[in-house]
Structure 1
Amino acid sequence: MARTREFDTEAAVSRAMDLFWARGYEATSVRDLTRHLGIGQGSLYAAFGGKDGLYRAALEHYRTTLAAAALRGLEEEADARAAIRTLLTERIRVAVGEGGRGCLAVNAVCERLPSDAATWRTVRDMQEAGREALAEVLRAARERGEIAERCDPHAVAAFLVTFLNGLLVSSKITPDARSLEPLIDVALTTLD
């Protein structure tokens, strides 16, 4: 008879996400994970297939919770500039928090690509969702006359995602929101 799982896998994935975010994939051992999650090694392998499976689950959890929440914030703001400013500012604040741990997705790209196809797919999906959400906000803003008619929503959205990725990498070097936030004003000039 198979034993029933004696731990909350969703809570374990969330806690693993925090550990991978703080330490990275390579610096996090299976022993670190089992200690942090309070589970045995056999339970980790039974539930996730190992460290790789848990890492993929943690990235997916990040995508469906924190990254998705950031995109929902775009829809809640009536003014496109304000929405984009808020998105960028909040992402900087998250990245510089916890001693400058950065963004889990950007950290994953820097550490795991190009050799980890599963990580590439997950992060690519996050990037595409961000570009599409920004392009929609920009398209609507252009129709309302909030931004310049010459602005191509897809090109500007792609630029903003690329700009944000650079900011998030920079936040690892300079974990100080006050020094990074003025750069947002420069990026928003692309809407003029």
Structure 2
Amino acid sequence: MARTKEFDPDAALQSALELFWRRGYEATSMADLVEHLGIARASLYATFGSKRELYLKALDRYGEQRGPRIVEELSQPGPALPAVRELVRRFADESADDALRRGCFVTNTAVELGAHDADSARRVEESWNSLETALTSALIRARAQGELAPERDPAALARMLLVLLQGIRVVGRIGSGPARPRDAAAQALTLLD
């Protein structure tokens, strides 16, 4: 007779996500995961596979939790440009908040693993493509509604904003204060005038 799991795999995955997000992949050992989750090593392996597989599942979970919210914000009916501006400002404000200094899990993954882990890089690229597509759609709507000048290229602006937002997350990890991200965001937003 098979034994019943003595833990909630969903809660364990969420807890692993939090630990990886805070510490990174390399700085988190299986021993750290066992201690943090309170789950036996054998149960962890049986449920999630290797540390790398658990990390990728945590990254997928993060995307499921965060990605749709941004897409929803950018696709609300009505004026589109205020939502784009609010997103950029929010990224800048969050990067200056000490409580949020852990950055974005996707951006952290790009920096730590993107150059040498194809599966991580693919997930990062999917996340960035989704954000860029949502920004492009919002900016196309903004141009069609007369909020954005007709000569502005929504796709190019969206790509620039994507790069800016990811850079803001990286700069925020250092904790050098609010001036850099907020000034960068303010300058980028002038391109939407």
> Do both share a fold (TM > 0.5)?
yes
The within-5 A match list for 1:161-180 is 161-174=162-175, 176-177=177-178, 179-180=180-181
Deviation at 1:175, TM superposition (A): 5.3
Q: Distance in 2 between matches of 1:40 and 1:34?
A: 6
Query: Aligned pair in 2 of structure 1 residues 189, 69: CA closer, same or farther (>3 Å)?
Result: same
**Uncovered stretches (5+) of structure 1, i.e. residues with no partner:** none
Deviation at 1:81, TM superposition (A): 2.7
Aligned to 2:115: 114
Question: Any idea what the Cα deviations from partners look like across 1:73-128, whole Å, max 9, x if unmatched?
Answer: 22237333321122123334444443611111111111112111110111100000
Aligned to 2:102: 101
Query: Aligned pair in 2 of structure 1 residues 170, 43: CA closer, same or farther (>3 Å)?
Result: same
Aligned to 1:47: 47
Q: After alignment, is 180-189 or 151-160 more displaced?
A: 180-189
The within-5 A match list for 1:1-192 is 1-76=1-76, 78-95=78-95, 96-98=97-99, 100-174=101-175, 176-177=177-178, 179-192=180-193
Q: Distance in 2 between matches of 1:91 and 1:67?
A: 14
> Runs of 4+ in structure 1 displaced over 6 angstroms?
none
Deviation at 1:151, TM superposition (A): 1.1
The answer as to whether partners of 1:100 and 1:175 remain within 8 angstroms in 2 is no
Q: Distance in 2 between matches of 1:99 and 1:147?
A: 32
The answer as to whether partners of 1:13 and 1:58 remain within 8 angstroms in 2 is yes
The answer as to whether partners of 2:79 and 2:145 remain within 8 angstroms in 1 is no
**Uncovered stretches (5+) of structure 2, i.e. residues with no partner:** none
Query: Aligned pair in 2 of structure 1 residues 58, 27: CA closer, same or farther (>3 Å)?
Result: same
Deviation at 1:130, TM superposition (A): 0.4
Matched residue SS, 1:76: coil
The answer as to whether partners of 2:34 and 2:40 remain within 8 angstroms in 1 is yes
Q: Using the aligned pairs only, state the percent identity.
A: 39
Structure number having the greater helix percentage: 1
The answer as to whether partners of 1:131 and 1:158 remain within 8 angstroms in 2 is yes
Q: Distance in 2 between matches of 1:126 and 1:115?
A: 18
The answer as to whether partners of 1:81 and 1:188 remain within 8 angstroms in 2 is no
Q: Distance in 2 between matches of 1:28 and 1:92?
A: 28
Query: Aligned pair in 2 of structure 1 residues 186, 80: CA closer, same or farther (>3 Å)?
Result: farther
Q: Distance in 1 between matches of 2:74 and 2:23?
A: 30
CA RMSD of aligned residues (A): 1.8
Q: Distance in 2 between matches of 1:97 and 1:2?
A: 46
